[in-house]
Structures are given as C-alpha cells and as structure tokens.
Structure 1
Amino acid sequence: MAAQNQNIVNGMSADGLDGAVWRKSSHSGYNGNCVEVAALADGAVAVRNSRDPHGPALVYTRAEMVAFVAGVKDGEFDGMI
C-alpha cells in the first residue's frame, strides 16, 4: 500500500505519527492484549500493538480498513481465533 502522505510509511515508529489519537477496543484485557487504531489526517488508519506503543505502526487506506472490517463482521476470520 502506498501511503498518501510521503512521510508516513508502513512499519514506522508509532511515535512518528504526530497528533494520532490511539483507541483500543473496550474488549481488550487489562494486560494490553489488543491492537490500537488511529485515524490519520489524510483519511488513512494506523494500527499498532498496544503492548509496544512506541514500536512500529502499519498504515492502511480507508478502503482497506472498510474491506477488513466488513470481513470481520461477516465472520471471514472466525477460524483464526
């Protein structure tokens, strides 16, 4: 995926996403066993591991996230957990 903003690349430090407001599911456990997401100014969505908030973040387009969430809602990934 080519990031819209040339300063944002997949696998970059989550610290480099200035202004990102990270959110995680209310279903995540107390020990940080969840991923966090942040909406970016250009419409993309960043994803990071909540156990490593300063580690790498992956950046997806809005269309990619819409397709993924639709697949989750349809049960396409149920066999993975």
Structure 2
Amino acid sequence: MDALDWKRSSFCGGGGNNCVEIAICDQDRMAVRDSVHPARTIKVSRAALTTFIAGVRNGEVNRPPGSSV
C-alpha cells in the first residue's frame, strides 16, 4: 500500500495528524486510512465511498457525541 499516492482531507489540520487519507487503487477501488494508523487500510469500491461521503454531507451518518464537524 505504500506505493499508493495518498491524498489528505482538506479538513486536515496543519499538524498533519488525525487526518483521513484516500488513494486510488485501480479503476474501481479506493483505499482509505487514518494518518494516525496508516497500516490500517481498507479498500472500498468508488461507488461505496461516493455513497458514504454523500450520506455524511446530507447528515445521514451519525456523528460521534461532541463532534463539531
């Protein structure tokens, strides 16, 4: 997975920690990881990731208690 071109969320702070990162694996799959634990990576279809992000934006995904985002 280290050969992938990882991109960080635009909401990532300047310190570089606690960030969501994604990378394109191939035409149909994306890899997602947390910058704090980069070895823990999941692969999902582009369609699944797109659906998840749309759900977050639309408020369909529950936020953790105390979350300000």
TM-score by length of 1: 0.65
User: Where do 4+ consecutive residues of structure 1 move more than 6 Å?
Assistant: none
2:35 corresponds to which residue? 50
Q: Which has the higher contact order (CA 8 A, sep 6+)?
A: 1
| Structure 1 gaps, min length 5 | 1-16
| Higher helix fraction (1 or 2) | 1
Residues in 2 aligned to 1:39 and 1:74: alpha-carbon distance in whole angstroms: 24
Q: Give, in whole Å, the separation in 1 of the partners of 2:9 and 2:49.
A: 16
Once the two structures are superposed, the pairs formed by residues 31-50 of structure 1 within 5 Å of their partners are: 31-50=16-35
Q: Cα RMSD (Å) of the superposition?
A: 1.8
Gaps of 5+ in 2: none
- Counting aligned pairs with the same residue, the percent is 36
Q: Distance in 1 between matches of 2:60 and 2:43?
A: 22
What secondary structure, in the 3-state scheme, does the structure 1 residue paired with 2:37 have? coil
